[in-house]
Amino acid sequence: MKIAVVGATGLVGGVMLKVLEERGFANEEIIAAASPKSIGKRIQFADRQLNVVSVDDAIAMKPDFAIFSAGAAASRQYAPLFAAAGTIVIDNSSAWRKDDDKPLVVPEVNFSAITSESRIIANPNCSTIQMVLAVSQLHKRYRIKRLVISTYQSITGTGIKAVRQLREEEAWHAEQVIKQGENAPSQVDAMGVHSQAYPYQIFRNLFPHGGDFQEDGYTTEEQKLVNETHKILSDNSIAITATVARVPVVGGHSESVNVEFHEEFEIEEVHKIIAETPGVILYDDPSKLQYPMPIMSEGRDEVFVGRVRRDLSQPRTLNLWIVADNLRKGAATNAIQIMQKMIKG
């Protein structure tokens, strides 16, 4: 087996290599490809080091699979070239998600969307993956009518520059505390922070902004939740509205999801369905203060669901709290699970 990881030196690319090792691919031929500035670097994989090569060189090596995490522009340019060389591409960017002829896949939910003709397969947005997986079996049983989604997204979803910004802001504030004690300001001096991934400080802050704003006032991250959920569940009748917030968290994304169904439900059956959904862990015992948190999900492949309760304001409606590691199940793990299922046939 020959597998290329395109964008191997990035935050998600590094997790992809880690997940490949964990899932039994340590002895396969792994090709680490990246942008020109990274060519020639050496990165650790399993018990050996990989030389980073150009994407063109990776295409020439004709891998069986190419797993992309290099951004939409790079995917638009290079994914068709890999496909033309006989490689199956699994792409983590937004490049192909809306294309009708490209399957958008969460393997536990709609793996059947992949056919023998599929050469480029889209990996959904991280927030979409965890939410769709958590509600997929409930949709089969009760049919979802409407979703109201509020996300609390980790800075790791933005990338390494955002992680550096938070660390630099924390360090700057710690320095001010040493100098000024209790009088240290909460607002960070932007001039003292070099990694500006966001228009505002993220330390001790959050903002309702992820992606780019559209003319309708929604952001592209919010629109992805709408479009991708419709495509994965094959149901455009579901009414969906979303608000995305970025929070100073590293471990994973959290989501508050209000689900209105066409059919009535019993809360005991809901618990049972969620607990039996592949890839999902029901962690929900208010009497013991048990509910999912991003610190719990970090480094895990499962989606955690808790705070399961009936919405008392209207019928047939449920509230859920959904948490997952956005770099793993929300990106790297989902892509590699797709590849694994394709290998098994």
Active-site residues, by number, are 126, 253
Can you read off the two tokens belonging to residue 341?
Answer: 């299922």
Element (H, E) at 273: helix 267-275
Tokens 């294309």 identify what position?
Answer: 99
Pairwise CA distance, residues 9 & 33, whole Å: 8
| Closest C-alpha among 219, 200, 234 to residue 149 | 219
Pairwise CA distance, residues 183 & 177, whole Å: 8
Give SS3 for 56: helix
Element (H, E) at 18: helix 11-22
Amino acid at 160: I
Give SS3 for 323: strand
Whole-number Cα distances in Å, 283 to 88, 118, 151, 288, 299: 36, 36, 19, 11, 17
| CA-angle at 309, arms to 303 and 313, nearest 5° | 130
Helix axes 126-142, 267-275, angle to 10 degrees: 130
Tokens 């018990």 identify what position?
Answer: 47
Pairwise CA distance, residues 336 & 24, whole Å: 11
Backbone φ and ψ of 332, nearest 5°: -65, -50
Residue 35 and residue 46 in contact, taking contact as beta carbons nearer than 8 Å: no
